[in-house]
Amino acid sequence: MSSMAYAAPRFWQRKHRLATTATLVVLFWAFAALLVASVDRTVAPISADGGAIAKIGVLILIAFAYIKLTAREATIDHALFVGFAWVALTIVTEMIITAITGRGWFLLLGPPSSSAFRYLMLFAWVSAPALFIHARS
């Protein structure tokens, strides 16, 4: 009988526990939120349209990194769940900061006065992880 050595599966090939998946979702969301807020502070004052495009680009980039680094075999259900979790975290964050500061804080979703941009950002937060799914559910 011969013994064969099997390589351990790579990180993205493993089935993660719920706590690991939740932690990764929150960490990638936090990084995306920090980048979106910094884009809002740096690019948006120069060009509102450029800031909107840059924010969506950041979300797509972070979603790509999440899927490729942690969940290459993810299904569309998983990706949409991640997107909805990101939107929920974004809304809760904006509500908490608004309550703490006493004034409206709209860096992550955009101002309510621009409803088209706000809807576009909501759609981007939800759908960005699903753009990179190859597996079928």
pLDDT per position as a tens digit, 15-68: 657 788 889 999 999 999 999 999 989 998 898 888 889 999 999 999 999 998
**For residue 13, pLDDT beyond 60:** no
Domain ranges of the chain: 16-132
- Other Cβ atoms less than 10 A from the Cβ of 28: the count is 20
- Could you identify the residue written with the tokens 């502070």? 41
Q: Are 82 and 125 in contact (CB under 8 A)?
A: no
The tokens describing 26, both together, are 């929150």
pTM of the predicted protein model: 0.83
**In the structure encoding, which two tokens stand for residue 100, read together?**
């703490």
Main-chain dihedrals φ then ψ at residue 23, nearest 5 degrees: -65, -45
* pLDDT for position 4: 58
* HEC-encoded secondary structure of 73-102: CCCHHHHHHHHHHHHHHHHHHHHHHHHHHC
What are 60-109's pLDDT values in tens digits? 999 999 998 888 778 899 899 999 999 999 999 999 999 999 998 888 99
Model pLDDT, residue 93:
96
Q: Report pLDDT for 6.
A: 54
Task: Report which of residues 73 and 119 the model is more confident about.
Answer: 119
Phi-psi region of 10 (alpha: psi -120 to 50; beta: other; left: phi over 0): beta
CA distances to 13, 19, 33, 42, 112 from 62, in Å: 19, 20, 10, 19, 24
**pLDDT of amino acid 101:** 93
Cα 118 from Cα 87, distance rounded (Å): 12
